[in-house]
Amino acid sequence: MEHIRLPKVEQVKLLDRVSPRKSRVGTLYLTATHTIFVESEDGQRDETWVLHSLVSSLEKSSSSSSSSSGVSLMIHCKNFQLLQFVIPEEQDCQDILLSLQRLSQPESYEELYCFAYKPNVAEEERQREWDFIDLTSEYKRMGVPNSHWKLSQANQDYKVSDTYPSEVFVPESATLPVIVGSSKFRAEDDFPPCATTTEETTQPCVAVVSLCPASALGAWRMSRFERNRQQSAGKGYENEDNYSNIKFQFLGIENIHVMRNSQQKMLEVCELRSPSMSDFLERLENSSWLKHIKAVLDAALFVAKAVSEEGVSVLVHCSDGWDRTSQVCSVASLLLEPHYRTLRGFMVLIEKDWISFGHKFSHRCNHLDGDPKEVSPIVDQFLECVWQVTEQFPCAFEFNERFLITVHHHIYSCQFGNFIGNNQKEREQLEIQKRTHSLWTYLWSNRADFINPLYRSNHSQTQGVLQPSTAPYCFKFWKGLYNRFERGVHPRQSVEDCLRTIREETEQLEEQLASHKQKISKLEEQKWTVSMNIFDKSPTAWIFSPT
């Protein structure tokens, strides 16, 4: 509370970016967790709530339109909401700005919303939330441990790798010293564990996929350059001589800094006011965003094909192993494994490839006031890749677009504990499971909103490996996420909502049908006995018998 310099400002205008005439006047409140705008129009009490942890940047400028006096405060949010307020007094605006700057960039984890978020849930139930997704049973589903993969104790107490979970699966033949050696050899101590298994893991051949930018053609020349460059930084890639039976493949996915700048440019496109078509397409191209999305999907498709068609095991790595690697492994798993395309399976996938394998959520999503160079939309790209695939396979996924957008929202919102911290070790230190709520149960209990009505578990699209086309024209701009709050640009009628209503109605009809059938058979039975009774007494009653 000590950070709130000014709890309330009146006569604030919330501008409508599309049609300025629709702007609203009201009161702006700052609370410990939210900025709240309450419209003061008679009869209308529309409220706009913005969580402080969702604020990504703030801009103050003297109001551009001469007609309205005051100072403009622009709030850019991590969920791509953009709010522009006009505050009458310069000093008030300054106070709000300074308060929000502090509130939106907490200095310690303890300040995050998840520790303050206390819905009306019994403690016992809260504890159970954390058992909802259980990775041990997931590994069991995958069929490990087995004769080739075993549970390793090597990382107990995070002795070997801080960023890995304490329980990992490694090849049976790898003994403890090999794992330690392997991790020393790799940057940041990530040793190669098992991300997804298929029946083919027994094959001796392994494909090593490097996601660093080095084109597959002329890989040697490029990779030498890459090696020289990286070896000077103490990093490198597997020397082919030391890994027999191994194919190398370089797939160029850019690093986190390139991705951050690219998204920034792409968001500028979204924020343009009534751009022309050329403006839009040209800037979209210049942002390179879709190019990067395509690169990730290309790499994932490569891995999925290597596993499913050539039957080889795949070792995926980049320089650190928690960004590009997570993206590619998780998208590839999704293409390979129908289970990950279900609501629950998708949660498992995120839990396994992102949360447990040390994607640095708090750094990448800027949960705390930290190094801006650590921020990068890696997980956004993952979610977008999934969305792009859902567009090509409308029946293959149990969840819908809204689900992906909601997951995105809460990765940034800090309302749930799942994504807090940068690895499992940190989360244990923060006692996340003891003090916060889990997103997964929240999503599960609201699953009616997130189900794709076209999904049917026995549909051909839900079976087997998905092979999306990665031709450039198959990639679309994801307005559902990046223009999420611009109501005007979305379709005015939703096929999905229609189908959802119809399916709900169908379910009711099925119940009615069953109950009618039951009633009818009951009645007929009764009638039969009645008519039989009558028949006993009066031989003329036969006309009442059922036909």
Partner 1 sequence: MEFAELIKTPRVDGVVLHRPFLPTVEGTLCLTGHHLILSSRQDNTEELWLLHSNIDAIEKRFVGSLGSIVVKCKDLWIIKLDIPGMDECLNIASSIEALSTLDSVSLMYPFFYRPMFEVIEDGWNTFRPEDAFKDLESMTDEWRLSEVNKDFNTCPSYPPLLAVPKDIDDDTLRKVATFRHGGRFPVLSYYHQKNGMVMMRAGQPLTGTNGRRCKEDEKLINATLRAGKRGYIIDTRTINIAQQAKAKGGGFESEANYPQWRRIHKAVERSNVLQESLIKLVEACNDQSHSMDRWLSKLEASNWQTHVKEILTTACLAAQCIDREGASVLVHGTEGTDSTLQVTSLAQIILDPASRTIRGFQNLVEREWLQAGHPFQVRCAQSAYSSNKARQEAPVFLLFLDCVWQILRQFPCSFEFNESFLVLLFEHAYASQFGTFLGNCAADRVKLGLPDKTVSLWSWVNRQQELERLTNPLYEANSLVIWPSVAPQSLLLWEGVFLRWNRSSKCLDEAYKEMVHIIEYNKELQNKVNSLRRQLAQLETEDPLLQSP
Annotation: binding site for substrate:
255-256, 318-324
Nearest distance from C-beta of residue 536 to partner 1, angstroms: 13
Using CB under 8 A as the binding rule, whether residue 277 contacts partner 1 is answered as yes
Q: Which of 15, 102, 94 is nearest to 59 (CA)?
A: 94
Candidates 268, 459, 463, 485; binder of partner 1 (CB under 8 A) is 459
Using CB under 8 A as the binding rule, whether residue 119 contacts partner 1 is answered as no
Angle 365-366-370 (CA atoms, 0-180°, nearest 5)? Answer: 150
Only segment of 99-107, 132-140, 161-169, 449-457 that touches partner 1 (CB under 8 A)? 449-457
Candidates 69, 489, 525, 542; binder of partner 1 (CB under 8 A) is 489
- Type and span of the H or E element at 210: strand 206-210
Only segment of 9-17, 81-89, 175-183, 390-398 that touches partner 1 (CB under 8 A)? 390-398
Using CB under 8 A as the binding rule, whether residue 463 contacts partner 1 is answered as no
Using CB under 8 A as the binding rule, whether residue 532 contacts partner 1 is answered as no
My answer on whether omega of the bond before 165 falls inside 30° of 0, hence cis, is no
Bridge-partner residues for 51, per DSSP? Answer: 34
HEC letters along 118-177 = CCCCCHHHHHHHCCCCCHHHHHHHHCCCCCCEEEECCCHHHCCCCCCCCCEEEECCCCHH
Task: Compare residues 373 and 456 and give the one whose CB is closer to partner 1.
Answer: 456
Nearest distance from C-beta of residue 302 to partner 1, angstroms: 13
Place of tokens 């996929």: 209
Only segment of 212-220, 321-329, 361-369, 497-505 that touches partner 1 (CB under 8 A)? 497-505
User: Residue 145 phi/psi, 5° resolution?
Assistant: -70, 150
Using CB under 8 A as the binding rule, whether residue 491 contacts partner 1 is answered as yes
For residue 483, give both structure tokens: 């223009």
Q: Which of 32, 27, 6, 21 is nearest to 90 (CA)?
A: 6
Candidates 28, 195, 208, 270; binder of partner 1 (CB under 8 A) is 270
Candidates 145, 171, 213, 394; binder of partner 1 (CB under 8 A) is 394
Candidates 46, 264, 506, 525; binder of partner 1 (CB under 8 A) is 506
Nearest distance from C-beta of residue 279 to partner 1, angstroms: 8
Task: Compare residues 25 and 534 and give the one whose CB is closer to partner 1.
Answer: 534
Using CB under 8 A as the binding rule, whether residue 278 contacts partner 1 is answered as yes
Using CB under 8 A as the binding rule, whether residue 397 contacts partner 1 is answered as no
In contact, 237 and 212? CB cutoff 8 Å: yes
Distances (CA, A) of 5 to 38, 100, 228, 263: 19, 9, 53, 33
Annotated binding residues, as ranges? Answer: 255-256, 318-324
Using CB under 8 A as the binding rule, whether residue 395 contacts partner 1 is answered as yes
Provide CB contacts within 8 A for 365, sequence distance 6+.
78, 375, 379, 411, 412, 419
Distances (CA, A) of 391 to 345, 388, 403, 506: 19, 5, 14, 25
**Contacts with partner 1: how many residues (CB under 8 A)?**
69
CA distance 123 to 432: 14
Task: Compare residues 256 and 481 and give the one whose CB is closer to partner 1.
Answer: 481
Task: Compare residues 159 and 479 and give the one whose CB is closer to partner 1.
Answer: 479
Contact pattern for partner 1 over residues 302 through 341, marking x by CB under 8 A: ----------------------------------------
Output the DSSP codes for 39-86.
E-STT---EEEEEGGGEEEEEEEE-S-TTS-SEEEEEEETTS-EEEEE
Only segment of 54-62, 213-221, 399-407, 508-516 that touches partner 1 (CB under 8 A)? 508-516
Site for partner 1 in 61-90 (CB under 8 A): none
Using CB under 8 A as the binding rule, whether residue 294 contacts partner 1 is answered as yes
Using CB under 8 A as the binding rule, whether residue 381 contacts partner 1 is answered as no
Using CB under 8 A as the binding rule, whether residue 509 contacts partner 1 is answered as yes
Using CB under 8 A as the binding rule, whether residue 493 contacts partner 1 is answered as yes
- Counts for the chain of helices (H) and strands (E), in that order: 18, 12
Only segment of 188-196, 209-217, 272-280, 366-374 that touches partner 1 (CB under 8 A)? 272-280
Residues recognised as catalytic: 318
Task: Compare residues 248 and 477 and give the one whose CB is closer to partner 1.
Answer: 477
Nearest distance from C-beta of residue 286 to partner 1, angstroms: 9
Angle 263-267-268 (CA atoms, 0-180°, nearest 5)? Answer: 120
Task: Compare residues 214 and 443 and give the one whose CB is closer to partner 1.
Answer: 214
Angle between helical axes of 401-413 and 378-392 (0-180°, round to 10): 170
CA distance 288 to 373: 19
Q: Which of 238, 203, 179 is nearest to 313 (CA)?
A: 203
Using CB under 8 A as the binding rule, whether residue 470 contacts partner 1 is answered as yes
CA distance 290 to 306: 24
Provide CB contacts within 8 A for 491, sequence distance 6+.
none
| Residues contributing to the site for partner 1 (CB under 8 A) | 270, 274-282, 284-285, 288, 290-291, 294, 392-396, 453-454, 456, 459-461, 469-477, 479, 483, 486, 488-495, 498-499, 502-503, 505-506, 509-510, 512-513, 516-517, 519-520, 523-524, 526-527, 530-531, 534, 544
